Chains A and B, each alone.
Chain A
Amino acid sequence: MSKITSLADLKKRREELKSGLDIRIKAIDPENVVQVKVAMATCGIASGAKTVMEFFLEQLERRNIAAVITQTGCMGYCYAEPTIEVKLPGQDPVVFGFVDLKRADQIIEKYIKTGELVDGIIPVNYQTIDLKE
């Protein structure tokens, strides 16, 4: 394979790639696909959030799972970084903490593929606390 050093090389190479159309559909309707948000503030980045995000970008597509992977700021769980939020279509989002690459693999294989929960879930307690009561 020849090296790509310019946009012209890239364009030539792209003609050999076939996945662009599917991606555009995903971008239009994220509600129908798995959504993964990686917390990418200082705490997350220092704990390895970039590697976790690269893993999801690579592996979800490799495993043929339609998904949109985005980044978000600090979710407030700095002690549990890297943290990610996963939303399966039609379900409430679930936040996972302490996501290393092994746990990221478990999340894909168990939670995303079959709906089975895995270790590291952070309870969404901010929805249940009402300071006025």
Chain B
Amino acid sequence: MKELALNILDIVQNSIKAKADEISIAINESVTDDLYQIIIEDNGTGIPEEILRNVTDPFVTTRTKRKMGLGLSLLKYHAELTGGSLAINSKVGNGTEITATLSYKHIDRQPLGDIIGVLVVLMASNQKINFTYRHKTGKGEYRFSSKETKEYLEIDTLYDRNLLKEISSMIYENLKGIEASGIEVKESYKTVL
């Protein structure tokens, strides 16, 4: 995967499979501390201890259709490539927290990429899940919550192309405001037709 946003999308699939209805994605970036941290937290079923021990092994998975689970091992690989690490805390019945710690300045750290597109895809296709996104930089912090947005707008769903575009724009402007690095907005499909 060429960008961290796709890794995040991949890891969140595990939370969705684990029947989470609250999923939080947090990015902490600091140039001065040479830190780029991704934290994904959910309130899903959690990972049993016997699986947790080998969960980053690409040949360990709880899925039955295929015998491989590459999501966590790929994120671990990308973290370790920059001299960082991956930590997983999970308790059955309570949920899981995945923390990937990367070096901000390392040449092999991928850009975050289209995180806004990832949020849009997640919100559009998982309407019953509340997604929270936090992004902290040296310039400040931005927080978005799909639940709070729905409550504020007094609507049941965010499944609306125009609304999602406006939300994307709002998140983008705020991330630009705190000088979040490596954000990319992709609309490549418009050039295909």
Binding site for B on A (CB under 8 A): 3-7, 9-11, 13-14, 17, 19-20, 23-24, 26-27, 38, 40-43, 45-46, 50-51, 53-55, 57-59, 61-62, 69-71, 73-76, 78, 101-102, 105
Query: Cβ of B71 < 8 Å from any Cβ of A?
Result: yes
A-facing residues in B149-166 (Cβ within 8 Å): 149, 152-153, 155-157, 159-164, 166
**Distance between A67 CB and nearest chain B CB, rounded to angstroms:** 11
* Interchain CB contact (< 8 A) of B166 among A14, A61, A69, A74: A14
| Residues of B close to A4: CB separation below 8 A | 166, 169-170, 173
Query: Cβ of B167 < 8 Å from any Cβ of A?
Result: yes
* Interchain CB contact (< 8 A) of B71 among A38, A42, A78: A42
A-facing residues in B85-104 (Cβ within 8 Å): none
A-facing residues in B53-99 (Cβ within 8 Å): 63, 65-66, 69-71, 74
**Distance between A95 CB and nearest chain B CB, rounded to angstroms:** 13
Binding site for A on B (CB under 8 A): 1, 6, 9-10, 13, 16-17, 63, 65-66, 69-71, 74, 114, 117-118, 120-121, 124-127, 148-149, 152-153, 155-157, 159-164, 166-167, 169-170, 173-174, 177, 186, 188-189, 192-193
* CA distance in complex: A71, B15 (Å): 13
Q: Do B125 and A45 have beta carbons less than 8 Å apart?
A: no
| Residues of B close to A51: CB separation below 8 A | 186, 188-189
Given contacts A53-B125, A76-B65, contact A10 B157 (CB under 8 A): no
Q: Do B125 and A105 have beta carbons less than 8 Å apart?
A: no
Which 7 A/B pairs are nearest by Cβ-Cβ distance? A76-B65, A71-B125, A101-B192, A55-B189, A42-B70, A4-B170, A61-B161
Q: Do B189 and A54 have beta carbons less than 8 Å apart?
A: yes
Given contacts A6-B170, A7-B149, A73-B63, contact A17 B163 (CB under 8 A): yes
Q: Do B177 and A5 have beta carbons less than 8 Å apart?
A: yes
**Distance between B117 CB and nearest chain A CB, rounded to angstroms:** 6
* CA distance in complex: A101, B189 (Å): 7
Which chain B residue shows the least CB distance to A68? B159
Q: A38-B125, A71-B16, A76-B65 are in contact. List 13 more A-B contacts (CB 8 A).
A: A10-B153, A10-B167, A13-B166, A17-B163, A23-B160, A42-B74, A45-B10, A53-B121, A53-B125, A54-B121, A55-B189, A57-B121, A101-B193
* CA distance in complex: A69, B152 (Å): 25
Q: Do B13 and A14 have beta carbons less than 8 Å apart?
A: no
Q: Do A10 and B149 have beta carbons less than 8 Å apart?
A: yes
> Which interface residue of B124, B155, B189 has the most chain A CB atoms within 10 A?
B189
| Residues of B close to A38: CB separation below 8 A | 125
Q: Do B167 and A58 have beta carbons less than 8 Å apart?
A: no
| Residues of B close to A40: CB separation below 8 A | 9, 13, 121, 125
**Distance between B134 CB and nearest chain A CB, rounded to angstroms:** 16
* CA distance in complex: A26, B189 (Å): 24
| Residues of B close to A55: CB separation below 8 A | 189, 192
